[in-house]
Structure 1
Amino acid sequence: MIFRKFVGLVAAFAAIAAAGAICMVALAFAIYAGLRDIIGPAWAAAAVAGIVAFIALVIAFVITRKARPPKPAKGDSQNLTAKLIELARERPLVALGAVAAAATVAFKNPRILAAIIAATFAPRPPPPK
């Protein structure tokens, strides 16, 4: 069941990415068609390239900007999940590589992924007395 949810989530992200790419291509064609008669085909193509580059720059800035991590409570050490989330915020490409590696492991053997997820979200044992 975990594997099916994971595959569904990956498919949903792929569909969103494909829809975004299609929208960008359609926007580029619309801008080109609107500017072609006004400033000529060469300048219209240059304007489309500039506008799409600007949009890509804005998206890259939004994705890579650093988020302010919440202040940890006194005496509370971070668990593995919090450390992974912090790593994903600081280095999104490393997090993407980790997701790709997890997907590879899940496709080869879903029991390993289930064991990793169960160990990650298991409650901490009580401290020894």
Structure 2
Amino acid sequence: MKHVRGFTLLEMLAALTVLALCAAAALGGFAQGARALQQSQGSDRLSLAARSLFEALGEGALQPGQQQGIWDGVEWTLQVRREPTAPGLALYRLELSVAAQGRQQIFSSLRVRTQGVRP
């Protein structure tokens, strides 16, 4: 009678258990990566919307107060306040809040205008 070498049933079950644990850990890592990518894309969208809104202000006149609106599905609120500065200059603080899909970000910027001169 020949001695047959191979794996026992217990060894096969142990190998399959280890394989299942490794696969579960890998799938958990992929799911976490997908969630992080989705959050990053949401933040990028809000940042791009804020940049576009700030650029839309251009070099025109600024009026202190609050403005609201919706831009490409992003709700925004702009608060403009006049800051003290040297005579002949007007310094404005712009605070822009953008929100979409349960995320909100706040951006702040300063703009200088020369008084009495319209661009």
TM range (shorter): 0.3 to 0.5
Query: With structure 2 as the length reference, what TM-score do the two structures score?
Result: 0.37
Higher relative contact order, chain-length normalized (CA < 8 Å, sep 6+) = 1
Using the size of structure 1 for normalisation, the TM-score is 0.35
Structure number with larger C-alpha Rg: 2
